């Protein structure tokens, strides 16, 4: 367990247990050089504790890079609650998790993630002072950032031109995926979609004129852009050979099962936009709201995800490396430039 934590460079990992509510959760604070760690609270029915630990470590490290490359002065963290959000979530369980968050003295500021909602954050805020509670749904701006990342990638691969000429396959049409589909439809893109909830997929397809395929067919759909917007780790040794896209860019976190799959994508001639580059829009919104920025300023920063994507592609090409390494290098350079000039996050109490 310590090897796992040390290999990813985490500052702190906290295992939380509250017998009265049944809470079992893990909080991972990856890096607070740029500021307190921010990241969502994910509730998921993990097969075992090791799977939960692996997920929270990867997600929190991704948040560090996402914040750094997006140019915001926050660090990366994440928490996961083990359990079925449809059956096990209670106010007592959420409040217990909130008390553990509070025990970190502001080093971790939680927000919404898979399996939690804004009302859930309001419950956490009853126990923890620093929570992204009462904020607007970040999904539309997350989707807007993904759209701009896709636009930049399309320009890089196919040259400048409208998205109306492109076929985009979207895996998962929950909050972010559905918002992205609507934005792409407004651009005139040809759309193929899927979701584990067939009713949700059919309803959205009827609204925008998309084609629906079964979840097990979406990755092999022949398309210009594949946009994973569900859970992560969908790109692995088995799925890479099946891909029939030129670009991989979506809203899901940790879409690669292992970092080495970035090399596999490059070898297959598929341009990969790292997820923490493409999906930074929601983070930018939360930070903007936290700091009191005007909506126009926040939206402009989200639209700049396209320019960040272009910069990552240019660095990767210049350095002769894959886009995942290029993006990580850009994020780490910003962190290292700050390291030593400030003490990192200090508990304001």
Please say whether the beta carbons of 155 and 162 come within 8 A. no
Mean pLDDT of the chain: 94
- Flag whether 38 is in a domain: yes
Is residue 41 domain-shared with residue 66, that is, in the same domain?
Answer: yes
Please say whether the beta carbons of 239 and 299 come within 8 A. no
Is residue 201 domain-shared with residue 323, that is, in the same domain?
Answer: yes
- Flag whether 349 is in a domain: no
Is residue 97 domain-shared with residue 161, that is, in the same domain?
Answer: no
**pLDDT for the residue 315:** 98
Cα distances (Å, whole numbers) of residue 27 to 40, 43, 120: 10, 12, 17
**pLDDT for the residue 165:** 85
The CA radius of gyration of the chain, in Å to the nearest whole number, is 19
Is residue 188 domain-shared with residue 316, that is, in the same domain?
Answer: yes
Beta strand pairing call for 23-31 and 12-18: antiparallel
DSSP 217: G
Domain CATH number, residue 313: 3.40.50.720
CA-closest candidate to residue 221, choices 254, 200, 257, 246:
246
Residue where the block lists tokens 């946009």: 227
Is residue 113 domain-shared with residue 194, that is, in the same domain?
Answer: no
Is residue 151 domain-shared with residue 179, that is, in the same domain?
Answer: yes
Is residue 110 domain-shared with residue 12, that is, in the same domain?
Answer: yes
pLDDT band at 132 (very low <50, low <70, confident <90, very high): confident
Is residue 82 domain-shared with residue 158, that is, in the same domain?
Answer: no
**pLDDT for the residue 339:** 86
Catalytic residue numbers read 78
Percent of the chain topping pLDDT 90 = 87
- Flag whether 291 is in a domain: no
Is residue 203 domain-shared with residue 248, that is, in the same domain?
Answer: yes
DSSP 29: E
Beta strand pairing call for 37-44 and 75-82: parallel
pLDDT band at 344 (very low <50, low <70, confident <90, very high): low
Residue 125 has pLDDT above 60, yes or no: yes
CA distance 222 to 244: 5
**pLDDT for the residue 170:** 98
Domain CATH number, residue 118: 3.40.50.10860
Joined tokens for residue 250: 């979506």
**112 membership: H or E segment, kind and range:** strand 108-112
- Flag whether 321 is in a domain: yes
**pLDDT for the residue 341:** 67
Overall pTM > 0.85: yes
Please say whether the beta carbons of 43 and 87 come within 8 A. no
- Flag whether 131 is in a domain: no
Q: What share of the chain is helix, strand, coil (3-state, %, to 5)?
A: 50, 20, 35
Q: What is the pLDDT of residues 187-241, one digit of tens each?
A: 999 999 999 999 999 999 999 999 999 999 999 999 999 999 998 899 999 999 9
pLDDT band at 136 (very low <50, low <70, confident <90, very high): confident
Q: Is 48 helix (H, G, I), strand (E, B) or coil?
A: coil
- Flag whether 56 is in a domain: yes
What is the arithmetic mean of pLDDT over 254-273? 96
**pLDDT for the residue 2:** 77
Is residue 96 domain-shared with residue 192, that is, in the same domain?
Answer: no
Is residue 9 domain-shared with residue 113, that is, in the same domain?
Answer: yes
Q: What is the pLDDT of residues 72-94, one digit of tens each?
A: 999 999 999 999 999 999 999 99
Residue 342 has pLDDT above 70, yes or no: no
**pLDDT for the residue 135:** 59
- Flag whether 187 is in a domain: yes
Which residues touch 232 (CB under 8 Å, ≥6 apart)? 55, 58, 252, 253, 254, 255, 256, 275
Give me the domain span that covers residue 61: 2-124
Q: Is 172 helix (H, G, I), strand (E, B) or coil?
A: coil
**pLDDT for the residue 134:** 65
Burial of 202 (0-12, 13-18, 19+ CB in 10 A): middle
**pLDDT for the residue 137:** 81
- Flag whether 206 is in a domain: yes
Tally of domains in the chain: 2
CA-closest candidate to residue 323, choices 305, 334, 311, 335:
311
**pLDDT for the residue 349:** 39
Give the distance, in angstroms, between the CA of residue 192 and the centroid of all CA atoms in the same chain.
22
pLDDT band at 4 (very low <50, low <70, confident <90, very high): confident
Is residue 115 domain-shared with residue 194, that is, in the same domain?
Answer: no
């Amino acid at each position: 367990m310590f090897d796992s934590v040390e290999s990813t460079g985490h500052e702190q990992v906290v295992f939380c247990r509250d017998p009265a509510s049944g809470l079992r959760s893990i909080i991972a604070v990856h890096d607070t050089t740029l500021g307190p760690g921010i990241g969502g609270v994910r509730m998921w029915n993990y097969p075992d504790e090791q799977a939960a630990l692996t997920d929270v470590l990867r997600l929190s490290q991704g948040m560090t890079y996402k914040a750094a490359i997006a140019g915001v002065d926050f660090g990366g963290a994440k928490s996961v609650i083990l359990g079925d959000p449809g059956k096990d979530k209670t106010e007592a369980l959420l409040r217990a998790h909130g008390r553990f968050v509070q025990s970190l003295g502001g080093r971790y500021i939680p927000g919404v993630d898979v399996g939690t909602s804004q009302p859930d954050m309001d419950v956490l805020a009853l126990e923890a002072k620093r929570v992204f509670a009462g904020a607007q749904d970040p999904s539309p701006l997350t989707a807007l950032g993904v759209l701009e990342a896709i636009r930049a990638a399309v320009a890089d691969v196919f040259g400048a031109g409208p998205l109306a000429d492109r076929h985009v396959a979207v895996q998962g049409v929950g909050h972010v995926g559905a918002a992205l589909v609507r934005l792409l439809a407004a651009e005139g893109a040809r759309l193929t979609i899927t979701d584990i909830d067939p009713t949700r997929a059919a309803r959205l397809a009827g609204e925008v004129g998309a084609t629906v395929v079964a979840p097990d067919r979406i990755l092999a759909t022949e398309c210009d852009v594949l946009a994973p917007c569900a859970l992560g780790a969908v790109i692995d040794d088995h799925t890479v050979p099946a891909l029939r896209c030129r670009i991989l860019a979506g809203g899901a976190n940790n879409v690669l099962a292992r970092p080495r799959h970035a090399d596999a994508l490059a070898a297959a001639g598929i341009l990969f936009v790292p997820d923490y580059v493409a999906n930074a829009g929601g983070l930018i919104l939360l930070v903007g709201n936290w700091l009191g920025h005007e909506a126009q300023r926040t939206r402009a920063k989200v639209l700049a995800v396209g320019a960040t994507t272009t910069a990552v592609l240019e660095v990767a090409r210049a350095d002769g490396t894959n886009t995942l390494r290029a993006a990580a290098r850009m994020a780490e350079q910003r962190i290292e430039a700050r390291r030593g000039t400030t003490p990192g996050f200090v508990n304001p109490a």
